[in-house]
Amino acid sequence: MKKNTILYHYVQALLNSLQRHGEDSEAILASCDIPVFSGDNSELRIPTDNFVKLLKKTITELGDEHFGLVEPALPIGSFFYASHVMSSCANLGKALQLGIGYYQLNSNAYSIELVEHIDEIEFRVNLNKPELDPDHLLAEFVLNAWHRFASWMIGKNILLKSASFNYPPPRHEPEYQYLFPCIRKFDQPWLSLTFSYDYLAMPIIKKNTGELEQFLKDTFQNLLFTPIDDQSLTAKIRLIIEDYEENNFPAFSLVAGELCMTEKTLRAKLKKEGVSYQKIKDFMRRDTAIYYLTKQNISIAEIAFKSGFSEPSAFIRAFKKWTGLTPTAYRCNKEEVT
């Protein structure tokens, strides 16, 4: 089972929106089994599944598919109809143009244009009221959603050449290496994604009704957290590790062998991605620990074992380094809202 986590920053962004609209944010958090953390919570994380519940709850409570971050609200059902319209097109270029036209006709939340360069396309976005999105949640969501749905329609990941943002690097900018795995530029005039012009001519893979309905059922997992055909070594190694027992990480030599590389080559390639095998293991240990601390009432010692630690004391030290809290303190915050 995948146990991915997400920064609490994103929870706080939704809470800020709910509070601006007069909603009982703490009650909504409790209904999603998400802890309330006081003080600086920016480095804390929660299970992705819980965050998806909060996204859905926010949309329902506010009647807005853009989480209360636009005026007027984007009616519920907009993406459902837009996705059906776009999926019926012959190629990606036509699908994007039709999708852009659909949203411009039904919402003035943001404007989109496709700007042609010599051999690439720039997907350019301008939020009409950026002040309603101070945490940049909508900016990230719009870019991610269009990129990943476009990738899904043609059945392959659209490799991004660059991503631009019209704000300074945010505090959670390290997450952008996963959200936008390309050259990233800040303090630009607009939001944008740049990719090869060749993608526009690629045909839309005709999905049967069941495939599209399943995609829509898992909309947020697909549009925010699941890269389409992620070819990064980090993603491949995570998949290899997931095939092993929960507390048993394969030796680096075995991972290199499964990827048909020497250890030296794999180490060099991971360095180019800005990670190491140890970092990947630490990320997975962290996510596993948070999953069990928030999902199940099991002992700290057992969670330490499931996270790949032989001693609870070593696990406690590592968890505090990851989150700033001890496992017990993290669990106590959760129990306060359950």
Q: Token pair of 280, please?
A: 């990947």
Q: What is the C-alpha separation between 197 and 244, in angstroms, rounded?
A: 40
Q: Token pair of 301, please?
A: 């010692």
pTM score? 0.75
164 bridge partner residues: 185, 192
pLDDT of residue 335: 45
CATH architecture of 233-335: Orthogonal Bundle (1.10)
Q: How far is CA 233 from CA 230, 256, 266, in A?
A: 9, 10, 9
- Domain map (residue ranges) of the chain: 5-74+209-225, 92-201, 233-335
pLDDT of residue 210: 73
Q: What is the C-alpha separation between 143 and 127, in angstroms, rounded?
A: 11
Q: Token pair of 251, please?
A: 């030796």
Helix (H, G, I), strand (E, B) or coil at 228: coil
SS (H, E, C) 116-144: ECCCEEEEEEEECCHHHCCCCHHHHHHHH
Output the DSSP codes for 320-335: HHHHSS-HHHHHHHHH
Q: What is the C-alpha separation between 191 and 115, in angstroms, rounded?
A: 12
pLDDT of residue 226: 55
Q: 71: which residues sit within 8 A by CB, 6+ positions away?
A: 109, 129, 132
> Within 13 Å of residue 286, how many CA atoms lie on the same side as its CB?
24
Helix (H, G, I), strand (E, B) or coil at 165: coil
The residue whose two tokens read 């794999």 is: 266
State the burial class of residue 134 (Cβ atoms within 10 Å of its Cβ: 0-12, 13-18, 19+).
Answer: middle
Confirm if 292 and 303 have CB atoms less than 8 A apart: yes
Q: 149: which residues sit within 8 A by CB, 6+ positions away?
A: 83, 86, 222, 223
pLDDT of residue 108: 86
pLDDT of residue 338: 37
Q: 12: which residues sit within 8 A by CB, 6+ positions away?
A: 41, 42, 135
pLDDT of residue 225: 61
Q: How many helices (H) and strands (E) does the chain have?
A: 16, 7
114 bridge partner residues: 123
Q: In a structure prediction context, what are the per-residue pLDDT tens digits for the chain, which is 338 residues long? A: 456 788 889 999 999 999 999 999 889 998 998 888 766 666 788 888 889 999 999 999 999 999 999 998 999 999 989 988 999 899 999 999 999 999 988 888 899 999 999 889 999 999 999 999 999 999 999 999 999 899 889 988 888 889 999 999 999 888 887 788 788 999 999 999 999 999 999 999 876 667 777 777 777 766 666 554 456 788 788 888 877 766 678 899 999 998 999 999 999 988 877 778 988 888 888 888 888 887 667 888 888 888 888 888 999 998 888 878 888 888 776 544 33
Long-range Cβ contacts of 184-190 (<8 Å, 24+ apart): 188/164, 190/124, 190/125, 190/126, 190/164, 190/166
pLDDT of residue 2: 56
pLDDT of residue 216: 76
Q: Of 35, 82, 60, 28, which is closest to residue 223 (Cα–Cα)?
A: 82
Q: Of 223, 220, 131, 134, which is closest to residue 170 (Cα–Cα)?
A: 134
Amino acid, res. 7: L
